[in-house]
Structure 1
Amino acid sequence: MISQHRSPVLDHVARTADAATAKRLLASGARMLLFAGLMWAAAAAGKVPVPGTPVPITMQTFVVMLAALTLSWREAAGAIGTYLVAGAAGLPVFAGGASTLALVGPSAGFLVGFLPAVVVTAMVRGKARTGSVKARALTSLRYFGAIVLGVIVVLYPFGAFVQSVLTGVPFPAVMLASLGFLAGDLPKAVIVSVACAGLSRR
């Protein structure tokens, strides 16, 4: 008859693996909650109106960029998803202290669009290579390209389309007005890319 008892060594290995897994999950959850909180803080910090569109400039795209370059795509998606769920549940986490109604208003497409934007950016950013100044510079450029793809190429049309549907304003007009966000988002993209690639280090 085969013994049903595992050796003490195997038991110890299993317990160690379980503890390590639990620690990783807790750390991952903490990072997601941190960035969800940063999204709320960025919305609460204030907003800058953009002529021609009811959607204001906030620091939220900065947080989206930072999450995409520092978290895994699953963690980044979890952070933005947690933020959106909190707003949908009635918490005043959106710009101007708005909550559920913001998800059916002019900003809805941009709010929901944060999710695909952060996932795309995180998935295409590639691995950081920081062994030399040249490597950090190339990583910074790759990060910048990933942000442009996710936060501009994906987010802008997505947000503009939903806003067009909800307001009845033609999509080209909404999209043209949305390009005003570039004045804030491009400098943010440069700053985040350089910082996350370590190019700012001496």
Structure 2
Amino acid sequence: MSQPSERPQLTPQFCFNQTALRDFLRISRGTIDDSITQNLNALLTPAQRGFDPASTSIRQLSAPGSSRAISSEHCDEFKTRVLFPSWKVRSDVLDYCATVATSPDPDDPDSIMRQVEDDKARERVVDERLDPYSGRYFPQEARTESLAMLMRNERAVEKIIRMRSWGVIGERCGFSSEMADDAFDKWRATERM
């Protein structure tokens, strides 16, 4: 069985290093959610009935999911020991980095440069009749703004990935009336107790 993602050390530097942040999310998603079918296949016990030589002489077609169903005990164990802990780690990282993105950033190395550019733009005299494009000024965004946009995008990606993973689990383990977020929230509540 796969192992849940390990939680990285959460610091503002980790969040502002968008390459490290994206790599963590990509690897975590790839290990658990992108390979959900392989992870679920690993739960099946091979050769439960033993090998029957006659089984190779006839092509056996079965209804989707009928012979590939996984016991509810194995599914529940996978969800509680691998899937939900990985989702929790990613949720914690996304929540922490979203908090960093909405907090003041006194250590921003580009803040002085942005302030100088803003001052220059305000002092500039523009005659748009001579050059209609000279009045354009595109201020550089702060790294907190860039991080906030990345967090919005990653949360959307996370939502899609969770829906897809939950759908695969539903096909293989039996559909549940719960939505992925509801099941995850219920699991999270029991983990805190």
TM-score, normalization by structure 1? 0.28
Whichever structure has more helix as a proportion of its residues is: 1
Which has more radius of gyration?
A: 2
TM-score, normalization by structure 2? 0.29
